[in-house]
């Protein structure tokens, strides 16, 4: 992947949506919710403080994270068609 985030930005690959309920009912595409979980693919160098120092991010590549429903901006890689979210570290709620 050629995507390198800047500052306190994080690139996340969203997990696939569930295709059936716990009771075994298959869900059509229109009924599927976008998952609010994903895996961190790439992280920026950290937020720049007023003194000029970098504050390192709390998440690292490979972390499984939980984020808000409308977090980030979607990015679709042209060669592979993979979809990623680019979000600020503040939009991540927890590491799973």
Residue 24 counted as domain residue: no
Q: Which of 13-17, 35-39, 90-94 has the highest mean pLDDT?
A: 90-94
Is the pLDDT reported for residue 26 higher than 80?
no
Question: Cα separation of 59 and 76, whole Å?
Answer: 22
Residue 86 counted as domain residue: yes
The total domain count for the chain is 1
Residue 41 counted as domain residue: yes
Residue 2 counted as domain residue: no
Range of the domain at 47: 9-17+33-95
pLDDT at 33: 61
Residue 66 counted as domain residue: yes
Residue 22 counted as domain residue: no
Residue 51 counted as domain residue: yes
pLDDT tens digits along 35-88: 689 999 999 999 888 898 999 899 999 999 999 888 889 999 888 888 999 999
Q: For the domain that residue 71 is a member of, what is the CATH number?
A: 2.30.33.40
76 forms beta bridges with 83
Residue 81 counted as domain residue: yes
Q: What are the Cα distances from residue 7, in Å, to 4, 23, 28?
A: 10, 43, 39
The reply to whether the predicted model has a pTM over 0.75 is: yes
């Amino acid at each position: 992947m050629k995507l390198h985030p800047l500052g306190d930005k994080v690139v996340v690959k969203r997990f696939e949506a569930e295709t059936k309920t716990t009771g075994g009912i298959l869900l059509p595409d229109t009924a599927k919710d976008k998952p609010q979980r994903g895996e961190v693919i790439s992280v920026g160098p950290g937020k720049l403080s007023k003194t000029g120092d970098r504050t390192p991010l709390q998440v690292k590549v490979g972390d499984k994270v939980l984020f808000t429903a409308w977090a980030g901006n979607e990015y679709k890689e042209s060669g592979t068609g993979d979809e990623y979210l680019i979000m600020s570290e503040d939009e991540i709620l927890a590491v799973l």
